[in-house]
Amino acid sequence: MSDEKSSKEDSINIRIGQKVKAEREKRGWSLTDLADNSGVSRAMIHKIERGESSPTATLLARLAGSFDMSMSQLIALSEVQTGTLIRQAQQPVWQDPETGYIRRHVSPGQIPVDLVSVDLPAGVSVPMPAISYLSRRQLIWVLEGTLSFQEGDHTFEMQPGDCLELGDPSDCIFSNTTTQLCRYAVVVLKNA
C-alpha cells in the first residue's frame, strides 16, 4: 500500500511538472522568464518540470500565480476530470512534501468556482505569496479544528464554521498552532 501511495504521488508530481512546462511553453516563456515572473529559481523549475522534485505548496502557489491561476487550478489541470460528478476517490489529491499539508480538489467540471479541501497537520504553517491571490476572490471556511490565518498585517483566529473572504492580495500564512488536525475549505472564484 505504501508503494502504491508513493507511486501515485510520484505520478501526480510528474503530471504537475508537465503542466507547468506546458503552461510556460504556451506563453512562449523561457525558464528564465518563468523564474523572473514567479520568484522560483530556474534550477528548481527545471527539476519540477522533469518530475525530479516534488514542489512545496509555496513554490506551486508562486508558479500558478505567475500563470494567473490558482494553485488548485494548476493541480486540477494536471488531473483532468470531466462530468458533473467526481467521486472522492477520483478527486485530485496533492501533498506538500515539506509540511504534510494535503490539498484535495473537490469541484468537478468547468463551472467558474474551485472548491478545495485542505488538511493542515498540527503544528504546521504554510506561507502563500500574494501572487497566488492576484485577480481572484477567495473564501476560507474552517470545517474542523482551529486555523490561524495571517493576511498581511492582520491575523484571524478561526474556529469551525467561521468563513473569511480574503481582501486585497497580500502574503498570507495558514497556521495550525494546535495539536489537532485543521481541515478547511477554500472556495476560489475563477477568472472569467
pLDDT, block means (10 residues), the chain with 192 residues = 51 82 90 89 89 81 81 66 75 87 83 88 91 74 97 94 88 95 90 58
User: Which residues is 30 bridged to in the sheet?
Assistant: none
Q: Closest by alpha carbon to 60, among 12, 119, 1?
A: 12
C-alpha cell at 33: 522568464
pLDDT at position 18, please?
Answer: 86
Alpha-carbon span 84 to 182, nearest angstrom: 28
Alpha-carbon span 186 to 50, nearest angstrom: 29
Alpha-carbon span 153 to 159, nearest angstrom: 20
pLDDT tens, position by position, 81-120: 556 788 888 887 888 888 999 988 888 766 778 889 999 9
* pTM of full prediction above 0.95: no
Count CB atoms within 10 A of the CB of residue 48: 23
Alpha-carbon span 111 to 72, nearest angstrom: 14
Q: Which amino acid is at 67?
A: F
Q: Report yes or no: 65 and 127 within 8 Å, Cβ to Cβ.
A: no
How far is residue 123 CA from its own chain's centroid? Answer: 19
Q: Closest by alpha carbon to 120, among 185, 183, 188?
A: 183
Residues in the chain: 192
Q: With DSSP H G I counted as helix, E B as strand and the rest as coil, what are the percentages for the chain, rounded to 5?
A: 35, 30, 40
pLDDT at position 161, please?
Answer: 98
pLDDT at position 9, please?
Answer: 58
Alpha-carbon span 162 to 157, nearest angstrom: 9
How far is residue 90 CA from its own chain's centroid? Answer: 17
**Phi, psi of 181, deg, nearest 5:** -60, 145
Q: Report yes or no: 132 and 70 within 8 Å, Cβ to Cβ.
A: yes
